[in-house]
Amino acid sequence: MLPRLFSIGPFTVYSYGALLAVALVLGLLVAAARARRAGLDGARVLDLGVLVIFAGIVGAKLLLLVVDFRSIVARPSEALAALRVGGVFYGGLLTAIGAGAWYMRRHRMPLWSTCDACAPGIAVGHVVGRLGCFAAGCCYGRPTAAPWGVTFHDHFAASYVGTPLGVALHPTQLYESAAEAAILLILLASERVGRRVAGRTFWLYLALYAVSRFVIEFFRGDERGAILGFSTSQAISLAILPCSLAALVLLARSASSHGRTAPAHR
């Protein structure tokens, strides 16, 4: 756990911010490279990525305010600190999707091909971003007796994000980083199997992330809001998963139909 990398006078470089910056750059580079290989305008995809990143950061902070509303009202002096070092990924993802859809429509970019190019970039960025959460101590897990439990000791992190100190916790940040790495490998492998269908990589990413996030939420120990007995992120996962599966089924049927009707080559 290393929430602060170094300080130069009054200026402090925080681990979360540094790793988030690395995550964003890596995600953009992956998306742009994939876009060029797909015959898309790489520069336009980079512009899209910058907009999506900005929208994602704003959305993540806004949803954090919603799910932590009671804590913020009880301790308003800590609201700024929480916003500086945290956010809710789903808030960022949903806001980014909305902003990206608007941008692609405005510039007449192919929707699903562009989304397919960007999805693995999101996964790459998330792998690194969750390492930033681990360094900062946010998004921590419940107490555990498992041999891989981690114990935090940094009082600075405890004061900023409420990380329990001296107690073994599930390393939920590492769980999610590993889950995103597995999702990335699945996405890349799936593109080598069967007929390429625009939109499949994007919807597969949403489906796999919804499942992994729903499961990991059971091990989280921080405040995340509640909807009908589920955490906010679990509720969003339950809404996203059936939509993603339905989209994948429709895409598979569409690909099968086109395969049957395509003329034979002689």
What digits encode the pLDDT tens for the residues 211-248?
999 999 999 998 777 788 898 889 989 999 999 999 99
Q: What is the mean pLDDT of the chain?
A: 85
Please give the C-alpha separations between residue 214 and each of 7, 19, 113, 122, 151, in angstroms, as whole numbers: 37, 24, 27, 18, 24
Which tens digits make up the pLDDT trace of 37-65? Answer: 989 988 888 899 889 888 888 888 787 77
pLDDT at residue 136, rounded to an integer: 87
Across the range 16-34, mean pLDDT stands at 89
Q: Give dist(CA 190, CA 197) in Å, integer.
A: 11
Looking at residue 60, its pLDDT comes to: 80
Q: pLDDT higher for 99 or 159?
A: 99
- Long-range contacts of the stretch 175-180 (C-beta < 8 A, 24+): 175/141, 175/216, 175/219, 176/126, 176/130, 176/139, 176/212, 176/213, 176/216, 177/126, 177/127, 177/128, 177/130, 177/131, 177/134, 179/209, 179/212, 179/216, 180/123, 180/126, 180/127, 180/130, 180/209, 180/212
Closest-CA residue to 35 (of 94, 96, 110, 127): 110
Q: β-strands 168-169, 11-14: how paired?
A: unpaired
Write down the pTM of the prediction.
0.84
For residue 151, pLDDT over 90 is answered with yes
Which of 214, 236, 233, 212 lies closest to 224 in space, CA to CA? 233
Give pLDDT, residue 261.
46
pLDDT at 80: 57
> What is the predicted pLDDT for the residue at 72?
59
Give the pLDDT band (50/70/90) at residue 161. confident
| Predicted confidence (pLDDT) at residue 265 exceeds the cutoff of 50 | no
Q: For residues 257-263, give the mean pLDDT.
A: 54
Confidence of residue 1 (pLDDT cuts 50, 70, 90): low
User: 201, 54, 219: which is closest to 141 by C-alpha?
Assistant: 219
Q: Are 139 and 220 in contact (CB under 8 A)?
A: yes
Q: Tell me, what DSSP letter sits at residue 110?
A: -
Read off the pLDDT of residues 181-201 as tens digits, 9 standing for 90 and up: 999 999 999 998 877 888 999
Tokens 């080598």 belong to 192
Q: pLDDT digit string (tens) for 96-141? A: 889 999 999 999 999 899 999 999 999 999 999 999 889 888 889 9
Per-residue pLDDT, averaged over 129-157, amounts to: 90
Q: What are phi and psi of 229, to 5 degrees?
A: 85, -5
Evaluate if residue 169 carries a pLDDT over 50. Answer: yes
d(CA 197, CA 70): 45
List the chain domain ranges: 12-251
What's the CA dihedral at 4, 176, 150, 166 to 10 degrees? Answer: 60
* Res 262: pLDDT: 46
